[in-house]
């Protein structure tokens, strides 16, 4: 039995993933934070709804910038080499590390005497969560797994499709 390998879908799916993944991730982040604030905080749903468009637009814009600089070069390399070890868990880990690293880098450049390192670490965890969700959504939209016999591009010149 041959093992399936990841393959990028057509360009329209990849472009759709670029648009949908950051917006979905920030929307899920808003939902989780709204539930937690509703349980532990004093904010109302109405106040949370005011933040939702700002979060989706701002978070989506930041997500597009991150995807452009960090995901696009990876996709170009991925399209060429078609690594079989790439799977959903690798995408989730990449999104987690990327979200945490970027947030930690940006926060470490700012003044820490205002909020302290606890606030920095809390922000890093939120960014890591958002990066993980965005990477998973991106994977489900832009990548499909195929058997080597189903993709003529993956066959070597000495293999046959039959």
CA distance 160 to 83: 21
Of the listed ranges 8-22, 56-70, 77-91, the one predicted with least confidence: 77-91
Q: Give the H/E segment covering residue 9.
A: none
Closest CA to 143 of 4, 5, 17, 9: 9
Helix, strand, coil percent content, the chain, rounded in steps of 5: 75, 5, 20
Is residue 30 pLDDT above 80, yes or no?
yes
Residue 159 lies in a domain: no
pLDDT score of 136: 93
Q: Which of 9-23, 31-45, 70-84 has the highest mean pLDDT?
A: 9-23
Q: What is the mean pLDDT of the chain?
A: 79
Alpha-carbon span 51 to 59, nearest angstrom:
11
Higher pLDDT, 41 or 56: 56
147 domain residue, yes or no: yes
Are 134 and 91 a contacting pair, CB within 8 Å?
Answer: no
**For residue 120, is it within any domain?**
yes
Domain range for residue 51? Answer: 10-154
Residue 141 has pLDDT above 80, yes or no: yes
In a domain, 99, yes or no: yes
Mean pLDDT score, 123-152: 83
Share of the chain above pLDDT 70, in %: 77
Distance of CA 143 to the CA centre of its chain: 13
- Asked if residue 5 is part of any domain, the answer here is no
Within a domain: 2 = no
DSSP one-letter string for 15-57: HHHHHHHHHHHHHHHHHHHHHHHHHHS---HHHHHHHHHHHHH
Q: How many domains does the chain have?
A: 1
Q: Which pLDDT does position 117 carry in this prediction?
A: 64
pLDDT at 56 over 90: no
Q: Does 62 map to a domain?
A: yes
* Mean predicted confidence (pLDDT) in 28-38: 80
In a domain, 96, yes or no: yes
């Amino acid at each position: 039995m041959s093992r399936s390998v990841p393959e990028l879908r057509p360009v329209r799916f990849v472009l759709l993933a670029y648009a949908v993944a950051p917006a979905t991730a920030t929307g899920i982040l808003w939902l989780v934070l709204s539930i937690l604030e509703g349980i532990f905080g004093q904010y109302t749903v109405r106040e949370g709804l005011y933040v939702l468009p700002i979060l989706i637009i701002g978070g989506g814009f930041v997500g597009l910038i991150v995807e452009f600089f960090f995901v696009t070069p990876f996709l170009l390399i991925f399209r060429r080499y078609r690594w079989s070890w790439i799977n959903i868990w690798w995408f989730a880990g990449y999104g987690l590390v990327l979200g945490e690293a970027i947030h930690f880098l940006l926060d470490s450049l700012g003044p820490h005497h205002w909020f302290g390192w606890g606030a920095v670490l809390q922000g890093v965890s939120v960014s890591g969560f958002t990066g993980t969700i965005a990477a998973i959504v991106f994977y489900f939209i832009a990548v499909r797994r195929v058997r080597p016999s189903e993709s003529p591009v993956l066959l070597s010149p000495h293999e046959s499709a039959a």
